[in-house]
A and B are shown apart, each in its own frame.
Chain A
Amino acid sequence: MGDDAQIVYSDGRIETRNAQSTTGFQQVDGETDPGTLTPFTTQSIIVNFNSIADGRGFSLVKAIRQNTGYQGAIFASGDINPDHLSFAFQVGFDAVIVSAERWQKYGGDSWRAALNPAVRLSYSQTHSKSLQSIWQQRHRI
Chain B
Amino acid sequence: MYRYDELDQSLVEQRSAEFRSQVERRLAGKISEAEFKPLRLMNGLYLQLHAYMLRVAIPYGVLSSKQMTKLADIADKYDRGYGHFTTRQNIQYNWPKLIETPDILDDLASVQMHAIQTSGNCIRNVTTDPFAGVAADEEVDPRPLCELLRQWSTLHPEFAYLPRKFKFAVTGSAVDRAAIKVHDIGLRVKSGPNDTVLTDIWVGGGQGRTPKIAQLFKANLPVEDLLPYLEAIMRVYNRYGRRDNKYKARIKILLAETGLEALQQQVEAEYQSIDQTAFSYIESEYARIAGNLIKPEYHTATEAPTRTNAEFEAWRRQNVKPHKQSGYAIAVVSLKPAGGIPGDATSIQMRAIADIAERYSSSELRVTHRQNLILPHVLESDLFSVWELLVKVDLAEANIDLPSDIIACPGLDYCALATARSIPIAQSVSKKIRATELTTDLKGVSVNISGCINACAHHHVANIGVLGLNKSGVENYQLTLGGRNDQNASIGQRIGPGVAADDVPEAIERIVNFYVDVREIHESLPDTFDRVGKEPFREAVYG
Contact = CB atoms under 8 A, between A and B. Distances in A.
Interface of A: 33-34, 52-56, 58-59, 66, 81, 83, 86-88, 90-91, 105-107, 110, 113, 118-125, 134-139, 141
Nearest to A55: B161
Interface in B64-94: none
Interface string B30-58: 11000100110000000000000000000
Contacts, number: 94
Given A34-B239, A91-B158, A125-B279, 11 more contacts: A54-B161, A55-B159, A55-B162, A59-B238, A83-B18, A87-B157, A119-B14, A120-B15, A123-B156, A124-B156, A141-B281
B227 to A, nearest CB: 8
A58 B235 CA distance: 10
B25 interface: yes
Contact of A53 (B38, B151, B280): B38
B238 A135 contact: no
Given A56-B238, A141-B281, A91 B21 contact: no
Contacts of B471: none
B154 A122 contact: yes
B21 A110 contact: yes
Contacts of A138: 5, 7, 281, 285, 288
Across the A-B interface, give the 3 residue pairs with the lowest CB-CB distance, nearest first. A55-B161, A87-B157, A139-B281
A55 B7 contact: no
B541 interface: no
B466 to A, nearest CB: 33
Contact of A134 (B11, B35, B235, B279): B11
A55 B151 contact: no
Contact of A58 (B25, B158, B243, B288): B158
Interface in B137-176: 151-152, 154-162
Interface of B: 5, 7-8, 10-11, 14-15, 18, 21-22, 25, 30-31, 35, 38-39, 121, 151-152, 154-162, 227, 235, 238-239, 243, 273, 278-281, 284-285, 288
A55 B158 contact: yes
B2 to A, nearest CB: 13
B507 to A, nearest CB: 42
A107 B31 CA distance: 11
Contacts of B39: 83
Contacts of A52: 38, 161
Given A83-B22, A110-B25, A135-B285, A118 B14 contact: yes
20 contacts: A53-B161, A55-B158, A55-B161, A56-B239, A59-B235, A81-B35, A91-B158, A110-B25, A120-B14, A120-B18, A121-B11, A122-B154, A122-B156, A124-B152, A124-B156, A125-B279, A135-B285, A138-B7, A138-B288, A139-B285
A106 B39 CA distance: 14
A36 to B, nearest CB: 11
A33 B239 contact: yes
Q: Classify the interface of chain B: helix, strand, loop or mixed.
A: helix
Contacts of A106: 25, 30
A113 to B, nearest CB: 8
A122 B159 CA distance: 12
A139 B15 CA distance: 23
A11 to B, nearest CB: 18
A91 B157 contact: yes
B18 A119 contact: yes
A46 to B, nearest CB: 18
Contacts of A56: 238-239
Nearest to A88: B157
Contact of A105 (B18, B30, B156): B30
A89 B473 CA distance: 51
